[in-house]
Amino acid sequence: MAEKIIGILGGMGPEATIDFFEKIVKGTKVRKDQDHLRILIDNNPKIPNRTLAIQGRGPSPLPLLVRSARILEKAGADFIVIPCVTAHHFYIPLQKKVKLPILNIVKELMNYVQIHFERIEKIGLLATTGTLQSGLFQKAFARSHIELILLGREAQKDFVMRAIYGKEGIKAIGPSERSKRLLLDACKELIRQGARAVIAGCTEIPLVLRDGDLPVPVIDPVAILAKVAIKEALGRSSKREEKGDL
C-alpha cells in the first residue's frame, strides 16, 4: 500500500506547527531519510485570530483556512491535519468546502481518553477562551462518563490567556519560564477541583507544559494527532490503538 502524503494546515501559531511537525518526524520509525513520511506544510500565520472570531470581535478565519486547505490539496496531500485546537470550531464548514478528509483533533483526543483514561472521573482542561466558548471539548465530554473541569473566568484570564497571548506569552516571545509558571498555577486550580489529569487543549501549551510536570498526567492532543496522522499515512488499521499502540 502506497504511503499517503500528510498536509499540515499550520501557522496558528508557527511554533505549534513546528512542534507538530517534529512530533511526526520523531514519532516515525525509520532507519534512513527515505523511510520518513512525505509532509506538505502551509504555514500561514496570516489566518485571523480564532478566539476573536468566535467572540465576534474579529474576522472569520474560514476563508483563509479554506485557501490553505486547497493549496495543500493541489500540492498533492492525501489528507489534512490542523495543529490548532481553536480552529476546529470551523471544522465542519471547512470540511464541506474541501475534498480531502481532515482529521479532527478533538475526536482523536476523545478516542485516546476513552481507551487510556476510562477509569478517571474528572479531567481538567487548559484551552483558549475561544475554544471554551466554542464548546468543542464540552460537547465531546458530555457524551462520556468523564466530568470536564474548567477554570473560572478570572483564572482563565490571568493564567491561561496571559500565558498564551500576553506581552510575555508564548505567541509573543515563545516558550518561557513565566508562561510555564502561569500554566502550572492554572493546573493547580484544576487539580484542587478534583482533576485527575489535565488536557493541554491549546497547541501552544505543550511547548511549555509536558507530562511529568504535574502530579497528574498531562494529555497532549498534539502528540495524539501526530501519532494518528502517522498511522493514517502508513495505512495502518486504527484497531492497533485499542492494543495501546498509540
Residue 36, in any domain of the structure: yes
Instruction: Answer yes or no: is pLDDT of 181 > 60.
Output: yes
Strand order in the sheet with 122-126: 147-149, 122-126, 198-200, 218-219
Please indicate, yes or no, whether residues 99 and 132 belong to a single structural domain of this protein.
no
The enclosing domain of 57 has a CATH number of 3.40.50.1860
List the catalytic residue out of 132, 202, 208, 246: 202
Instruction: Answer yes or no: is pLDDT of 130 > 50.
Output: yes
Confidence of residue 52 (pLDDT cuts 50, 70, 90): very high
Instruction: State CA 236 to chain mean position distance.
Output: 22
Please indicate, yes or no, whether residues 229 and 161 belong to a single structural domain of this protein.
no
Instruction: Answer yes or no: is pLDDT of 239 > 60.
Output: no
Instruction: Look up the pTM and report it.
Output: 0.91
Residue 142, in any domain of the structure: yes
Whether the Cβ atoms of residue 178 and residue 137 lie closer than 8 Å to each other:
no
| 66-83 pLDDT per residue, tens | 999 999 999 999 999 999
Instruction: Transcribe 67-109 into DSSP letters.
Output: HHHHHHHHHT-SEEE---SGGGGGHHHHHHT-SS-B--HHHHH
Please indicate, yes or no, whether residues 111 and 215 belong to a single structural domain of this protein.
yes
Residue 11, in any domain of the structure: yes
Please indicate, yes or no, whether residues 26 and 89 belong to a single structural domain of this protein.
yes
Q: Among 128, 133, 125, 127, which residue's Cα sits nearest to residue 54? A: 133
Does residue 240 or residue 213 have the better pLDDT?
Answer: 213
Please indicate, yes or no, whether residues 110 and 214 belong to a single structural domain of this protein.
yes
Please indicate, yes or no, whether residues 10 and 69 belong to a single structural domain of this protein.
yes
Question: Quick one: cell of 181?
Answer: 509558571
Average pLDDT over the chain reads 94
Residue 46, in any domain of the structure: yes
Instruction: Answer yes or no: is pLDDT of 110 > 70.
Output: yes
158 lies in which domain range? 106-220
pLDDT at residue 245 in the model: 40
- Beta-bridge partners for 147: 122
Residue 110, in any domain of the structure: yes
Residue 147, in any domain of the structure: yes
Q: What is the mean pLDDT of residues 230-239?
A: 79
pLDDT at residue 244 in the model: 36
Query: Whole-angstrom Cα distance, residue 32 to residue 24?
Result: 15
Residue 1, in any domain of the structure: no
Q: Among 138, 23, 135, 34, which residue's Cα sits nearest to residue 81? A: 23
**What is the 3 state secondary structure string of 48-74?**
CCHHHHHCCCCCCCHHHHHHHHHHHHH
Please indicate, yes or no, whether residues 117 and 95 belong to a single structural domain of this protein.
no
Please indicate, yes or no, whether residues 93 and 113 belong to a single structural domain of this protein.
no
Instruction: Answer yes or no: is pLDDT of 222 > 90.
Output: yes
pLDDT at residue 238 in the model: 46
Whether the Cβ atoms of residue 5 and residue 39 lie closer than 8 Å to each other:
yes
pLDDT at residue 185 in the model: 97
Please indicate, yes or no, whether residues 22 and 76 belong to a single structural domain of this protein.
yes
Please indicate, yes or no, whether residues 86 and 110 belong to a single structural domain of this protein.
no
Active-site residue 84, yes or no? yes
Instruction: Answer yes or no: is pLDDT of 186 > 80.
Output: yes
pLDDT at residue 228 in the model: 98
Give 13's DSSP letter. S
Q: Which residues contact 77 (CB under 8 A, 6 or more apart)?
A: 5, 6, 7, 40, 100
Residue 72, in any domain of the structure: yes
Q: What is the mean pLDDT of residues 125-134?
A: 96
pLDDT at residue 241 in the model: 41
Please indicate, yes or no, whether residues 114 and 203 belong to a single structural domain of this protein.
yes
Give 37's DSSP letter. P
Instruction: Answer yes or no: is pLDDT of 242 > 70.
Output: no
pLDDT at residue 236 in the model: 73
Q: Residues 124, 52, 122, CA angle at the centre, nearest 5°? A: 10
Q: Residues 50, 109, 151, CA angle at the centre, nearest 5°? A: 60
Number of domains in the chain: 2
List the catalytic residue out of 80, 84, 87, 226: 84
Please indicate, yes or no, whether residues 111 and 191 belong to a single structural domain of this protein.
yes
Query: Whole-angstrom Cα distance, residue 6 to residue 72?
Result: 9
pLDDT at residue 154 in the model: 96
Q: Which residues contact 81 (CB under 8 A, 6 or more apart)?
A: 6, 7, 8, 9, 20, 102, 103, 105, 225, 229
